[in-house]
Amino acid sequence: MISAMSERHFDLGEKVLRNLEARGEAGRAWLATLPAQVIGLERAWGITVGAAFPRGTEAFAAEAVLADGTLAAIKIPIPGADKQGREARVLAAAEGRGYARLLSHDPATGALLLERLGPQLAQFGFDMEKQISIICDTLKNTWATPSRDLGLLTGAQKADALAGDIHRVRAKHPAAASDRVATVALRFCDARRAAFDPAHAIIAHGDAHAWNLLSDNAGGYKFVDPDGLFIERAHDLSISLREGVRDFLAGDPVARGRACCAYISKMTGVAPEPIWQWGLIENLVNGLLYVEVGSPEHAAMFLDVAEAWAAAEPD
């Protein structure tokens, strides 16, 4: 496993290091230059960078303090995880409404300087229904971001990208998922691609789960780490169907998944079937991506749910 070797050490966490390892030489090169990147940003932004946050996956994320003592956070994406500036554009357009406020952005490194938020929603011990209620309420706030052209990935492009992930990973790991689940998921990708309508699309987070939603320390919540999509609302809502796999596997995964989907639909007024289709796709792709980075123990629960849901679909 690669590790940061310098007089200034950063504890990046297992998931970040695993993702860097999967990127080979590019990951090692990024890790070697990380201390210099941090020092350069400290000078440019007049900040002091502190301890890394413990649950990063695709970025160095750490505490920061501005020259005037204001608490902030810094994020530097690892190679291949930069969203071509989409994240910064979404955060800038939101102006702190439902998202962490963007204080500064460095296009050269993709680094972001953000307002410091509180604990993640997942850390509060709420049950699944309460978490989903808070996620849905916060999403409604983010969806009010003006839908001007931000150069985001469209719903059709997202469907194509997920279909590409299915084909790519199955080509390398053909035993990872059945032909049945792949066929159903690809059919759903076709349906969501065809359903994309710019007139009804919104600026979406793209990965709206309880670890990406933080307390704003004022009784509300704000999202971090948006993927930056211009897509139907159903996709944002489907992420809760991906994150609920442990609960679904505690009983009948189809019945529990459908009940959760119906609850989300009732909470938001969004039709259940598009949420369900995106949810199956996201579960399959998430499982396959875990297989690709060598984490089959994490892959299993997502793949098990996707397989069960696909088996229940009509031919």
List pLDDT tens digits, range 237-268: 999 999 999 999 999 999 999 999 999 999 99
Global pTM value: 0.91
Helices (H), the chain: 14-22, 24-45, 86-94, 128-142, 155-172, 179-195, 233-243, 245-249, 253-268, 272-292, 296-311
Look at residue 248 and tell me if it is in a domain: yes
- Those residues whose C-beta lies under 8 Å from the C-beta of residue 162, and which sit 6 or more positions away, are 185, 189, 281, 282, 285
What total number of domains does the chain contain?
2
> Does 84 share its domain with 154?
no
Look at residue 279 and tell me if it is in a domain: yes
Among 10-19, 151-160, 214-223, which stretch is predicted with the lowest mean pLDDT?
10-19
pLDDT category at 54 given cuts 50, 70, 90 is: confident
> Does 208 share its domain with 266?
yes
**pLDDT on residue 8:** 66
Task: Choose the final residue of a domain: 115, 141, 157.
Answer: 115
CB 49 within 8 A of CB 40: no
> Does 94 share its domain with 49?
yes
Tokens 């690669």 identify what position?
A: 2
> Does 210 share its domain with 143?
yes
Look at residue 7 and tell me if it is in a domain: no
Strand partners, 47: 66
How many other CB atoms are there within 10 angstroms of residue 313's CB atom?
17
Q: What is the mean pLDDT of residues 175-179?
A: 97
Distance, CA of 245 to CA of 124 (rounded, Å): 19
Task: Choose the final residue of a domain: 68, 90, 115.
Answer: 115
pLDDT of 148 higher than 60: yes
Taking only the tens place, the pLDDT of each residue in 266-275 is 999 999 999 9
Look at residue 35 and tell me if it is in a domain: yes
Look at residue 294 and tell me if it is in a domain: yes
Distance, CA of 59 to CA of 309 (rounded, Å): 32
Look at residue 3 and tell me if it is in a domain: no
Distance, CA of 189 to CA of 159 (rounded, Å): 5
Beta strands 102-106; 111-115: pairing state: antiparallel
> Does 25 share its domain with 140?
no
pLDDT of 306 higher than 60: yes
Among 24-28, 52-56, 170-174, 303-307, which stretch is predicted with the lowest mean pLDDT?
52-56
What angle (nearest 5°) sits at the alpha carbon of residue 298, between those of residues 57 and 169? 85
CB 105 within 8 A of CB 45: no
Q: Which domain holds residue 166?
A: 121-311
Distance, CA of 26 to CA of 156 (rounded, Å): 30
- The total number of residues written for the chain in this structure: 315
